[in-house]
Amino acid sequence: MTEPALRLPAPPPPARSRRALLAGSVGNFVEWYEFGVYGYFATVIAANFFTPEGGSDVEALVRTYASFALAFFFRPVGAVLFGRLGDRIGRRPTLILVIGLMTLATTMIGLLPTYATVGAAAPWLLTLLRVLQGLSAGGEFGGAVSLMTEFAPPGRRGLYGSWQSFTVALGLLGGAGAAALLATVLSEAALNDWGWRIPFLLTLPLGLVALWLRLRLEETPSFRRAEAADPATPPPGRGEVARAIVLGATRIMGWAAAGYTFLVVLPSYLQSALGASFREALLATVLANLGFAASIIPAGLLSDRLGRRTVMLSGAGLVVLLALPLIDLLQDTGAPAAAKGAAVLVAGAVVGLMAGPGPAMLAEMFPTRVRCTGLGVAYALSNAVFSGCAGLIVTELVARTGDTDIPAYYAAGACAVSVLALLTLRGDDHRRPLR
């Protein structure tokens, strides 16, 4: 269908664009800092909340990851709830609401009584707070990416959208850094007893800063234009939106699966399956996240020049090729430590090739009137299934089969499906104006 000629709107002033970028980014940092901390302290949380007398450590770890997955499955609910709010009342008020809810729930985790104190109520209270986090996180992505891309200057949507993923990397690095620092300065007993609470409590000041920045925001130009448009103009059909959501989720499933496998699940996997120490596992994760962070912004910039399709296909294809050699190298007791470090660094960088252009690619799939909801639900569904379940699936399959290559099969399989979906992308989507 031939689209009518559009009179392109004037770009927003640079100061407003930068302010929107900062306000959107800091909320993402808080969200992923917490999710990273929960993943890095999975074994400690398992011991404190999911280990009744007589229960095994493996059972407790599986329950911990089940709680982790549950929060992800509430993300699509949050994406629908807050996405509809963002598409109806605006990006700004919705983002203020979700950062407040995330900050409250995360801070409360740091104050929760453990199983030893309140018994069976402890895991239920933790799970309730994880559900609240899942709801708020589901609304965060759609609102933040809409904010960033709608404020982006012409030809810069890939760069602006990549900051969402970059602050994910910073959040995971922040969580890993906090965990590594505590593991260094505290004894194992102190860390297991009370030290694990500190990273969760640090969310309170971080969240207040994010809230202050978002209170100073203006509404996006795209949303204001959509509000002023003819109310008789029919919205996109539900079938059309649903198909775009499924396609978007499939395009990023490799990013979701490989990202969580290499960046979050890796510490517990190295400890439980390969016998690494807590410090060694955290070091590997820090290196993977450094590689991830280093490649995201360049990948977003490159996608503004070459297109989202080319850059994201490169990342997904490389995971298919490299996942199994990476895991085999980590299991090789004779391999030099430097080689293992370089391998996890490269693994993180390859995931960044998908994560950099991914937010802009999703934003370009949906018109303004349903953008918050559409891209938020696509992202939340993909992450619920392929990120939230990564720890549970990998841990359970390794325990049942004894095959320590399971993480490689999981990441490579998801990326292979994403390759097929990414082939449907048009090569010039990055040059078209947002609808």
pLDDT along the chain (435 residues), means of 10: 48 78 87 77 78 59 68 86 94 94 91 87 87 88 93 92 90 82 87 90 91 90 84 75 95 93 74 69 81 95 96 97 89 82 91 96 94 94 81 79 87 96 90 85
Q: According to the model, what pLDDT value does residue 1 have?
A: 40
Q: According to the model, what pLDDT value does residue 283 have?
A: 80
pTM: 0.84
Cα–Cα separations (whole angstroms), residue 391 to 16, 260, 347, 357? 39, 8, 17, 25
Residue 8 in any domain: the answer is no
Residue 62 in any domain: the answer is yes
Cα 322 from Cα 316, distance rounded (Å): 10
Residue 5 in any domain: the answer is no
For residues 24-56, one letter each, b for 16 or more C-beta atoms within 10 angstroms of the residue's C-beta and e for the rest, the string is bbbbbbbbbbbbbbbbbbbbbbbbbbbbeeeee
Q: According to the model, what pLDDT value does residue 373 have?
A: 95
Residue 231 in any domain: the answer is no
In terms of Cα–Cα distance, which of 394, 281, 277 is closest to 344?
Answer: 281
Residue 366 CB neighbour total at 10 angstroms: 27
Helix (H) or strand (E) holding 7: none
Cα–Cα separations (whole angstroms), residue 63 to 68, 175, 222, 248, 352? 9, 21, 43, 30, 30
Cα 21 from Cα 4, distance rounded (Å): 31
User: Domain with 339 in it: what CATH number?
Assistant: 1.20.1250.20
- H-type alpha helices, 120-202: 121-151, 157-185, 188-190, 197-201
Cα 201 from Cα 197, distance rounded (Å): 6
Q: Which residues contact 293 (CB under 8 A, 6 or more apart)?
A: 166, 169, 170, 173, 348, 352
Domain extent, residue 22, equals 14-224+237-431
Residue 196 in any domain: the answer is yes
Residue 7 in any domain: the answer is no
Q: According to the model, what pLDDT value does residue 344 have?
A: 87
Task: Identify whether the C-beta of residue 269 lies closer than 8 Å to the C-beta of residue 327.
Answer: no
DSSP 207-275: HHHHHHHHHT----HHHHHHHHS-TTSPPPPHHHHHHHHHHHHHHHHHHHHHHHIIIIIHHHHHHHHH-
DSSP state, 369? G
Helix (H) or strand (E) holding 301: helix 278-306
Residue 200 in any domain: the answer is yes
Cα 316 from Cα 382, distance rounded (Å): 15
- What total number of domains does the chain contain? 1
